[in-house]
Amino acid sequence: MRVKLVAGNWKMNGSLASGQALIKAILPPLAALNRARYAVCPSFPYLAAVGQAVQGSSVALGAQDVCQFDDGAYTGAVSCAMLKDAGCSYVIIGHSERRAVFGESDEVSAQKYAQALKHGLTPILCLGETLAEREAGATETVVARQLDAVVKMSGIAGIEKGVVAYEPVWAIGTGKTATPQQAQEVHAFIRGRVAAADRKVAGALVILYGGSVKAGNASQLFAMPDVDGGLIGGASLVAEEFVAICRAAHEAKETVKA
């Protein structure tokens, strides 16, 4: 069975106090929702404090980005070793905001993914198309290109050790959400592309959906056969919303590996 995963991406929001309050609010209810996995990804300055708060709980710690190089003369960067030292288990790789706002290429995302694997972190690889690309019928071409860059560098065995998140750029922070059917179509395409190389890896691969997931639509999205949870942005900053989304994952029907 593929176990559902819900990861909260706090992005560049909040403060030390608000982050600690948020964790305090979500830990008790999530302790009872034991049929899914959970993670939170705060900004770098708050990793240590949040990591200490979730230690020993059902919630894992993740980071929002990482440097593609090992420790060294890279001013302003954060290495995988540092993330491990802070208690991280996960790291988000290639989020659309890293690609679009900061100019991160497919190759750089692939390098970061490889670094995460090297240091024993579980990378959450983000894939997704813009509205213009979707309207041009290029969704599969874009997603395949982004995925293939990682496969080329880390191999299909590398994909087996990570998580994939389909995040249509046009649905991130816009209030728009891919319909459950639209999400399922792309998730099935991703799984099928991995299956062409290794069916066993594809069957076990956890593929998350991200893009304006809310308490009101999480159950419908998580009911899709190839949607294995969510990478949650804005809703992860509201305790009640995040817990409700996690409850939807906990209550979702388990998916049999293909």
Determine whether 250 is an active site residue: no
Catalytic residue (one of 95, 129, 187, 241): 95
CATH architecture assigned to 4-251 = Alpha-Beta Barrel (3.20)
- Helix (H/G/I), strand (E/B), else coil: 187: helix
pLDDT tens-digit readout, 98-138 = 999 999 999 999 999 999 999 999 999 999 999 899 999 99
Determine whether 119 is an active site residue: no
- Helix (H/G/I), strand (E/B), else coil: 75: coil
Residue 104 pLDDT: 97
Residue 177 pLDDT: 75
**pTM of the predicted model as reported, rounded to 2 decimal places:** 0.96
Residue 176 pLDDT: 76
Catalytic residue (one of 97, 104, 167, 241): 167
Q: What angle do CA 139, 217, 242 make, to 5 degrees?
A: 105
- Helix (H/G/I), strand (E/B), else coil: 183: helix
Residue 45 C-alpha from the chain's centroid: 20
Q: Give the whole-angstrom CA distance, residue 26 versus residue 235.
A: 13
| CB atoms closer than 10 angstroms to residue 71 | 12
User: Buried (b) or exposed (e) across 201-221, using 16+ Cβ within 10 A?
Assistant: bbeebbbbbbbbbbbebbbeb
Residue 178 pLDDT: 84
Residues of the chain with pLDDT under 50: none
For the chain, which residues make up each domain, given as ranges? 4-251
